[in-house]
Structure 1
């Protein structure tokens, strides 16, 4: 899908488009210094959108690229993570590709762009009790990772992961980890 979308974007004469997976994005950003990065929130590695600092580390010349994300209103947890990561543009995945071009143009000027159809998702995200870190822990738990695997993936101690899981369970009103995952999936948080 990424390649097809990139090919479609290349039709806009003023855009220079590069097609890169997230894992290769930091090195590509450092080498090409783009004005805008676009990402599909639901095609990541389970951690949601990486912070812009990973795309453009401190001490590198120039300004960081503006971030545009393709999202769905039924995934408020991902919308919240993207907003906290510094995204300026939010485009509905179910919308027209022309909206993505408009969003890219807006955020290239450092202006915010939000598809009106994502408004309900942002309202739900505002009501979500979990922090970005708790969402990361919960996303990995929902993917079936153990406490040890989550700790390794997020560079946390086992006790810290257990503390996060206890906080998630309490904040979601769940009885246990499995119930917290079920509730969070039902709300579209993970």
Structure 2
């Protein structure tokens, strides 16, 4: 810990990123920050590991984030959340917000922004990368309801109308109505186009 002032408390950070090379690069970047004790995982932790220290901050790839699980962990005081978000995918930004993230950093942003976000999150303060401002506006304007998103997500997996209806306990006619509404709201030509638009925005 050379270079750390006497009495300075290290910030414990866990990087959660599926891609191994990028995960290792983020670990190295944070260690070079000077005041971080860094560990990593390829997936969001299922449960606390007995005897393991709880991180102050999780740095997470927002595209692989599970909002319900992340919100459950952060709500119980098990580490603040800093989400790495692609600027052009407002749906991903929306999920990070639903997960209770304190920090939002553009994936194409600078090292200094990430370090600032982690330090602020460790203190319980919010940080929003200025490059994501337009994304927040787009996320707030997301036109689809939760039920429409559920229908679209199943359709995106290639499931036929009958299977989507059975999975969501709806009639086939209701599913068709939801899909027609989705197509209209996103300005798509058809179901395939609607899926493409929604996936491009990160809504599904």
TM-score (norm 1): 0.73
Instruction: Tell me which residue corresponds to 1:9.
Output: 30
Question: What CA deviation, in whole Å up to 9, does each residue of 1:117-171 have, x standing for no partner?
Answer: 11111111111112467546645644x34269x97xxxx5353894865653454
2:41 partner SS: coil
Q: Distance in 2 between matches of 1:63 and 1:133?
A: 31
- How many residues align? The count is 176
**Residue pairs, 1:156-171, within 5 angstroms:** 157=168, 159=170, 162=175, 165=179, 168-169=182-183, 171=185
**Residue pairs, 1:26-65, within 5 angstroms:** 26-27=46-47, 31-42=52-63, 44=64, 49-51=65-67, 53-55=68-70, 57=72, 63-65=77-79
Distance verdict in 2 for CA 1:132–1:5, change over 3 Å = farther
How big is the alpha-carbon RMSD for the aligned residues of Structure 1 and Structure 2?
3.4
Runs of 4+ residues over 6 Å off in structure 1? none
TM-score (norm 2): 0.69
Task: Kindly name which structure, 1 or 2, has the bigger radius of gyration based on alpha carbons.
Answer: 2
Higher helix content, 1 or 2: 1
**Which segments of 5 or more consecutive residues in structure 2 lack a partner in the other structure?**
1-21
Residue 117 of structure 2 corresponds to residue 106 of structure 1:
no
**Which segments of 5 or more consecutive residues in structure 1 lack a partner in the other structure?**
none
Q: Which has the higher contact order (CA 8 A, sep 6+)?
A: 1
Instruction: Tell me which residue corresponds to 2:7.
Output: none
